[in-house]
């Protein structure tokens, strides 16, 4: 079974600075998807970024980028120019590429605070 | 607007009183699933459905039931709720390899 580990329960960053959230995962599969979801106080789960394991290029969405290290099974999220609206819980998630795979496996989350 | 709609958003109930949390999506997605979120545990899958009349258990199915009679709806049923089912519940849907779309969440308290 796959597992996802977020080793930082809480982090903080100064507004306009850069912060990196860590995520590692364990799998025996070679093809899979990785996601970062953001959950603000409104509780809505918002997709931040997605990475397909077969793609070597790291995904980027505006101020959000990932450092995907497949061999190390690491998938960290970098937030540049942090804004107050980035304060939220962040969840890393894994989903198999295998046909018939229906489950997202989540990490336990990292609570990010942004200091004005 | 593409969305997943859950109702109610908040619910307080008593132990043993049957309840249903509804979930509806307007994106014609085949896959739908239910998760519960608890502090320090992240989100864990309760049940999922691959299509109409096809459902299966996730990681934490005990105490829950689901049905999928129509493609757009996937209700979560608690026949006899207990306090350990107090949680934040999310419904999600997707088509194929796309990312999952989540509902707004339902905060359930069982006293």
Q: How many Å apart are CA A78 and CA B38, to the nearest integer?
A: 25
Cβ <8 Å between A102 and B100: no
Average pLDDT over residues A36-51: 94
**What residue of A is the nearest CA neighbor of B93?**
A102
The 3 state secondary structure assigned to B23-41 is: EEECCCCCEEEEEEEECCC
Look at residue B14 and tell me whether its pLDDT is greater than 70: yes
pLDDT at A100: 67
What is the distance in angstroms between the Cα of A90 and the nearest Cα belonging to chain B? 10
Does any CB of chain B come closer than 8 Å to the CB of residue A98?
A: no
pLDDT at A98: 75
Q: How many CB atoms lie within 10 A of CB A98?
A: 9
What is the distance in angstroms between the Cα of A22 and the nearest Cα belonging to chain B? 15
pLDDT at A58: 94
Q: How many Å apart are CA A109 and CA B46, to the nearest integer?
A: 18
Give chain A's mean pLDDT.
93
Does any CB of chain B come closer than 8 Å to the CB of residue A50?
A: yes
Does any CB of chain B come closer than 8 Å to the CB of residue A84?
A: no
Encode pLDDT of B49-98 as tens digits.
989 999 999 999 999 999 999 999 999 999 999 999 999 999 999 887 67
Residues 6+ away with beta carbon under 8 Å from A101 = A95
Average pLDDT over residues A44-53: 93
Encode pLDDT of A53-107 as tens digits.
998 899 999 999 999 999 999 999 999 999 999 999 999 999 987 766 768 899 9
Q: How many Å apart are CA B82 and CA B85, to the nearest integer?
A: 6
Encode pLDDT of B17-44 as tens digits.
999 999 999 999 999 999 999 998 999 9
Cβ <8 Å between A106 and B42: yes
**Residue of A45, A91, A103 lying closest to B48 (CB–CB):** A103
What is the distance in angstroms between the Cα of B92 and the nearest Cα belonging to chain A? 10
Among A4-13, A33-42, B1-10, B97-106, the minimum mean pLDDT is found in B97-106
Cβ <8 Å between B102 and A50: no
B97 against B103, higher pLDDT: B103
Residues 6+ away with beta carbon under 8 Å from B1 = none
Q: Judged by CB atoms within 8 Å, which residues 77-106 of B form the interface with A?
A: 88, 90, 92, 97, 99-100, 102, 104-105
What pLDDT band is residue B46 in, cutting at 50, 70 and 90? very high
* Number of cross-chain residue pairs from A and B with Cβ atoms under 8 Å apart: 48
């Amino acid at each position: 079974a796959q597992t996802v580990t977020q080793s930082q329960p809480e982090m903080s960053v100064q507004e306009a600075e850069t912060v990196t959230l860590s995520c590692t995962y364990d799998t025996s599969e070679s093809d899979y998807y990785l996601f970062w979801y953001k959950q603000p106080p409104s509780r809505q789960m918002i997709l931040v970024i997605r990475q397909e394991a077969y793609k070597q290029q790291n995904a980027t969405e505006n101020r959000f980028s990932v450092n995907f290290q497949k061999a190390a099974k690491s998938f960290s999220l970098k937030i540049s120019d942090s804004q107050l609206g980035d304060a939220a819980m962040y969840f890393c998630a894994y989903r198999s590429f295998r046909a018939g795979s229906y489950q997202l496996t989540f990490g336990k989350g990292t609570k990010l605070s942004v200091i004005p | 607007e593409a969305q997943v709609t859950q109702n109610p958003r908040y619910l307080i109930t008593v132990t043993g009183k049957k309840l249903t949390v509804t979930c509806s999506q307007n994106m014609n997605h085949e896959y739908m699933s239910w998760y519960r979120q608890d502090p320090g545990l992240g989100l864990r899958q309760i049940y999922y459905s691959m299509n109409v009349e096809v459902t299966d258990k996730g990681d934490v199915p005990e105490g829950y039931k689901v049905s999928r009679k129509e493609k757009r709806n996937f209700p979560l049923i608690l026949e006899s709720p207990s306090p350990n089912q107090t949680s934040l519940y999310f419904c999600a849907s997707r088509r194929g390899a796309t990312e999952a779309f989540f509902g707004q969440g339902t905060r359930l308290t069982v006293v």
